[in-house]
Structure 1
Amino acid sequence: MSILLLAIAIFVMTRIYKKVMNSLLRLLEDQMSNFNDFQKMINSLNKEKLSDLCEEFLTNHEAAMNILFKYCSEFGLIFDSQEIKDNMTIMHKNGDFDNIVCFGIELSENQLYKKFHPS
């Protein structure tokens, strides 16, 4: 009788484990898809818009976030501010903005930028 209960418990625990793992995998896939969509949106912007956005981030962070919300919306994406920050951070770490000119200097050459966004 106790072997039967143990077998049932193992069966139930295995099913629960599989459901949890599948949920976690779907969440991870959604996050990657969201990042990929965000990256496509950023890459669709021309260098002038990206330069303006960079300068806006340095002078008025809230306005820059509003611009990003607008760009996302126009691209059919909906992100909250934390998701935008997380996606921007990933792109910074990947060096996606190194060739963007901000106040006349490419970010890859800007010592202050490199200090806060080491590659």
Structure 2
Amino acid sequence: MTLQFQACMLVGALALLVIIFIFLKKGLMTVKYSLLWLGLSIVLVIFAACPYVVYVLRDLLDVEMPVNLVFLLMFCFVLVVLLSLSIAISQLAEKCRRLTQANAILEKRVRDLENRMQSK
């Protein structure tokens, strides 16, 4: 791994950390979803600061170039993020369905009460 690539990786990881903390501070991101991104940026800082870790992982996973390993890990990370977002969307869809049903029941009760009051 070249020194220039390490420097770019370190700057990018630190920029990602700063962006995540800004989003957290402004309330644009919840802590629950920021943990994955914080983990990613910490791993990137470790990879940039200690390239030996990348070489050891490269040898363990039998990847030809260290850069390919980094991109492979990034791809796996994106898949994990997509999976967590899919779970969150599924849970929100279920909550929305339940709220819609509860709202319909309440509307029916209000209509029934209005009809009773008008008939008296």
TM-score (norm 2): 0.36
Give TM-score scaled by structure 1 length: 0.37
In terms of fraction of residues, the more helix-rich structure is: 2
The structure having more radius of gyration, on CA atoms, is 2
